[in-house]
Amino acid sequence: MIDSLSPHESNSNQLVALVNGRPSTTLSILDRAAAYGDGLFETVALVDGQPQNWVRHYRRLARGCAQLFIDCPREELWQNDLDRAIALRTLPKLAILKLTLSRGESQRGYAPDPAASPTRVLQLSRWPISIANDLPLTVTECSTRLGLNRALVGIKHLNRLEQVLGAREVLHAKADEGIMFDVKDRVISGTRSNIFIVLADHRVCTPLLEESGVAGIMREIVLEQSAVCGITIQETAISRTDLRLAEEIFFTNSLWGIRPAGTYLQARQGTRTLSSRLGTSLRAHLQQRQLLP
């Protein structure tokens, strides 16, 4: 077992990578993940070698496989891959587990090969310094619009060009996150997160994901656990006006947990008694139940 990175590895956040259970950092040029983005992925917080909210992540992966008509590898295969990866090196307390599943290899052309076997990729990476704090986020808006496709809504498929373009805008704006709208100008998400807003009438809302967007694991947990905290969250259409009138904006993903917006479009978000209580209450409750990394 390796305790430290070699000088070459020290410049990389990646710790271990396996392809179909074997150490590797390369894919075939015939793999449909590279050619068409034909596959799915999951990003999981790893704490002391244990994947957080694993059942939920695997369930979403299986749901995505059903929607894309990809054979879903058994849960035990992924667990064996993870055990093998962990055996290769000593991990820090916090790490990132990324699972990528492609339909497999085929010759050119969109039509998949019915005989193709799915390709499993497992990566373990360092926990970024940028995630290792709960500081409020600097938030901008993205001009890139999200398309509508009910066949793909909710799942984490590999076609992420909209998010890539959105993330480029965030980088250019020197922000931490960018809010993305669909082609109907409805608020959908952040570039890498789900979004919640608190309105002046004390309503807490998150976008209803019917035609676009990813149904995030932390979003799912917050929706389930909010009732325990005495908080009602509405899944509904959110307009640009709703967004700009919001007393609080916060974001969720599997690595951040819950992160509030500190500034939005360069305007500082005011501190509100209700919104502060909501965020603090939810965060404390989820940490108590070990649902946050």
User: Tokens 């570039």 belong to which residue?
Assistant: 191
Structure-block tokens of residue 136 = 């409020």
Average pLDDT of the chain? 88
Q: Using the predicted structure, report yes or no on whether residue 268 has a pLDDT greater than 70.
A: no
Break the chain into its structural domains and give their ranges: 9-127, 137-288
Q: Using the predicted structure, report yes or no on whether residue 1 has a pLDDT greater than 50.
A: no
Architecture of domain 137-288: Alpha-Beta Barrel (3.20)
Report the amino acid identity of residue 114: P
Give the model's pLDDT for residue 183.
Answer: 97
SS3 per residue for the chain: CECCCCCCHHHCCEEEEEECCEECCCCCCCEHHHHHCCEEEEEEEEECCEECCHHHHHHHHHHHHHHHCCCCCCHHHHHHHHHHHHHHECCCCEEEEEEEEECCECCCCCCCCCCCCCEEEEEEEECCHHHCCCCCEEEEEEEEEECCCCCCCECCECCCHHHHHHHHHHHHCCCCEEEEEECCCCEEEECCCEEEEECCCCCEEEECCCCCCECCHHHHHHHHHHHHHCCCEEEECCCHHHHHHCCEEEEEECCCEEEEEEEECCEECCCCHHHHHHHHHHHHHHHHCCCCC
pTM of the complete model: 0.89
Structure-block tokens of residue 205 = 């809302």
Stretch 58-73: mean pLDDT: 97
Q: How far is CA 74 from CA 30, 77, 130, in A?
A: 24, 5, 33
Are the folds of 9-127 and 137-288 the same?
Answer: no
In tens, the pLDDT along 146-204 reads 999 999 999 999 999 999 999 999 999 999 999 999 999 999 999 999 999 998 888 89
Q: How confident is the model at residue 272 (pLDDT cuts 50, 70, 90)?
A: very low
Is 9-127 in CATH node 3.30.470.10?
Answer: yes
